[in-house]
Amino acid sequence: MKLSQILNTPIQNAVQELFDVTIDKVEFQATRKEFEGDITVVIFPLLKIIKGNPVELGTKIGNYLVDNVDVVIRFNVVSGFLNIVVSDEYYLNFFNEIKDDAAFGSVAVSPNEKAIMVEYSSPNTNKPLHLGHVRNNLLGYAVAEIIKASGKKVYKTQIINDRGIHICKSMLAWQKFGEGQTPENSGLKGDKLVGNFYVAFDKQYKVEITALMAQGKTEDEAKKQAPIILEAQQMLLDWEAGKPEVMALWKTMNQWVYDGFAETYKNLGVDFDSYYYESNTYLLGKEVVQFGLEKGIFEKDPDGSVWIDLTPDGLDRKIVLRSDGTAVYMTQDIGTAIQRVKDFPDVGGMVYTVGNEQDYHFKVLFLILKKLGFDWAESLFHLSYGMVELPSGKMKSREGTVVDADDLMEEMTATSRKISTELGKLEGYSEEEKAKLFQTIGLGALKYYILKVDPKKQILFNPEESVDFAGNTGPFIQYTYARIQSILRKADFDTSKANPITALHLKEKELVKQIELFPEVIQNAANNHSPALIANYTYELVKEYNSFYQSVSILGEEDLDKKIFRVQLSRKVSDTIKFAFGLLGIEVPERM
């Protein structure tokens, strides 16, 4: 039982007996580092119902707790804060309960709990995944794993944008300039090959615009009249009409991209339970519009277009069906959400991992779904995140200036190789072991650097800085894990045959207290959709362990019982690091 739960009722009893007042809630917080104490009771809220000096109130409650609660051994009062010191016995009992629990921190999934669907990645099939997709995938995957650990069933999904003018641009450029290139005969991953033709289209488009402007056309006229854009628009019409040769090329080139994506996802360490394709979903939602019209939720304009008026809700009027009867993105998203619940009937909420430029879109989408009366619409969340930029500035896909996800992962591995080799700690490693280690460190550095930042914040990504072996970085935490594994390998004695110790060194106690926080951190991270809470908790745990490591002897301790306890404590710290990093999709090396 948590310390706050143990103390809650005794404090309520103290207030009742000492001041003849009933309180429903006790406000706890962590004790500040500069004061002695394991948990702090905030006294100030009591001043609303009990007249008196906060120090006097805190002192009376503190004395009551010392007299009536076994685990409370002393206290101090600073202004309106009652800092409570808890016995070592409490922490030793807690540690003995959890030290062998491999799933400590997580909650088993309840069969009655509604599932959560988490959408992430959702790329276009005209280009490879880039740095922005990396943040999206890492966030979505980690949030899904954290929600799962908090006790809910989770489905991971994505919607692939596989239709539209941008797809036709790559297809047309391949027809014009491809010379029969395939992933097999070019040696390129399929998504890279298709992405090259998206860039090639843009180059040719610019050439044609320049030529038309030289003939006296305005820039707007040139953009609309360039032969290559007119051909792309015709190809889109042919696709919508189901023209066989266009459909065949579309299927072939999309499959090249899917195969490329699959390789990137595998290397990045993310996965999905289901896939949705815009080519299948773009017609979804049209029947919902009719339902909404009948219910008076939507309204039809004289030109036949259908709208929803959200101005009473502080938003604007939003079109859901064009006058020619075609759907817009909003209609498609409405239909896709409904279809997902049909496909997975136990879904009770959804998380959409999409950049912050779509904040308004999701406000409108969620509100429309609520107005349509779906109960699960009350549990929709937009995991909005800031953009990732490089020191060189923003990336542009059509100009070919994006940072390719595969190239980035290779660069991170190379950076890890360079720094690890310079540190010179690789004696006894085979070349295969070195390659695996460099990849583990490089990807760990990349993932941690991105996930330690609050999702809402923009990131300026610096690869060299992320592979630092000191400070709040992935490699620093991985190195501590590996150091603990080295200690455990050297502990060649039976750790199960110890007599219980009765007192804790201050550093041991601080470490156990940090471990105790882990379940609450997982719940908070799930509720806030923030992997940063897990990342930074792990960093604090590692800092606490390194302070412990520097302050006490582990394998050199002469008292066998203390030595065994410290080995067990080290093992539990490493288990917690591994579990926490697993939630973030980060591997930990056994040696480093």
The span from the CA of 544 to the CA of 507, in Å, is 8
pLDDT tens digits, one per residue of 207-216: 999 999 999 9
Question: What is the pLDDT averaged over residues 20-36?
Answer: 94
Q: Does residue 565 belong to any structural domain of this protein?
A: yes
Q: Which of 270, 305, 337 is the last residue of a domain?
A: 270
pTM above 0.75, yes or no: yes
Q: Is the pLDDT of residue 494 over 90?
A: no
CA within 13 Å, CB half, 456: 4
Residues 238, 291 within the same domain: no
Give the other-Cβ count within 10 Å of 9's Cβ: 11
pLDDT tens digits, one per residue of 122-149: 999 999 999 889 999 999 999 999 999 9
pLDDT tens digits, one per residue of 227-253: 999 999 999 999 999 999 999 999 999
What phi, psi does 128 have (nearest 5°)? Answer: -75, 165
CATH number at residue 46: 3.30.1360.70
Q: Does residue 492 belong to any structural domain of this protein?
A: yes
Ramachandran area for residue 272 (φ above 0: left; ψ -120 to 50: alpha; else beta): beta
The span from the CA of 272 to the CA of 156, in Å, is 5
- The confidence score (pLDDT) of residue 71 equals 96
Helix (H/G/I), strand (E/B), else coil: 375: helix
Distances (CA, A) of 75 to 38, 68, 87, 94, 505: 10, 13, 11, 21, 19
pLDDT tens digits, one per residue of 383-397: 999 988 877 655 444
- The confidence score (pLDDT) of residue 342 equals 97
Sign of the torsion formed by the C-alpha atoms of 521, 522, 527 and 531: positive
Helix (H/G/I), strand (E/B), else coil: 390: strand
Ramachandran area for residue 77 (φ above 0: left; ψ -120 to 50: alpha; else beta): beta
- The confidence score (pLDDT) of residue 516 equals 96
Q: Does residue 302 belong to any structural domain of this protein?
A: yes
- The confidence score (pLDDT) of residue 401 equals 55
- The confidence score (pLDDT) of residue 525 equals 98
- The confidence score (pLDDT) of residue 398 equals 45
Residues 531, 475 within the same domain: yes
User: Residue with structure tokens 């509720």?
Assistant: 527
Which comes out higher in pLDDT, residue 586 or 52? Answer: 586
Residues 194, 311 within the same domain: no
Residues 455, 558 within the same domain: yes
CB of 128 closer than 8 Å to CB of 405: yes
Ramachandran area for residue 242 (φ above 0: left; ψ -120 to 50: alpha; else beta): left
Its domain, for residue 545, covers 415-583
Residues 265, 292 within the same domain: no
Residues 246, 300 within the same domain: no
Q: Does residue 396 belong to any structural domain of this protein?
A: no
Q: Provide, rounded to the nearest whole percent, the portion of the chain with pLDDT above 90.
A: 84
Q: Does residue 465 belong to any structural domain of this protein?
A: yes
CB of 309 closer than 8 Å to CB of 299: yes
Residues 431, 565 within the same domain: yes
Q: Does residue 295 belong to any structural domain of this protein?
A: yes
Burial of 499 (0-12, 13-18, 19+ CB in 10 A): exposed
Residues 459, 547 within the same domain: yes
Average pLDDT, the chain: 94
pLDDT band of 496, cuts 50, 70, 90: confident
pLDDT band of 475, cuts 50, 70, 90: very high
CB of 185 closer than 8 Å to CB of 300: no
Count how many residues are written for the chain: 592
The span from the CA of 137 to the CA of 57, in Å, is 51
Q: Which of 55, 86, 117 is the last residue of a domain?
A: 86
Q: What token pair was written down for 372?
A: 């349509």
Q: How many domains does the chain have?
A: 4
Residue 86: strand pairing partners: 72
Residues 310, 170 within the same domain: no
pLDDT tens digits, one per residue of 266-325: 999 999 999 999 999 988 898 899 999 999 999 999 999 999 999 999 999 999 999 998
H or E element, residue 383: strand 380-385
Q: Which of 46, 65, 86 is the last residue of a domain?
A: 86
- The confidence score (pLDDT) of residue 422 equals 80
- The confidence score (pLDDT) of residue 339 equals 96
Residues 297, 443 within the same domain: no
Question: What is the pLDDT averaged over residues 36-53?
Answer: 94
- The confidence score (pLDDT) of residue 463 equals 76
Q: Provide, rounded to the nearest whole percent, the portion of the chain with pLDDT above 70.
A: 98
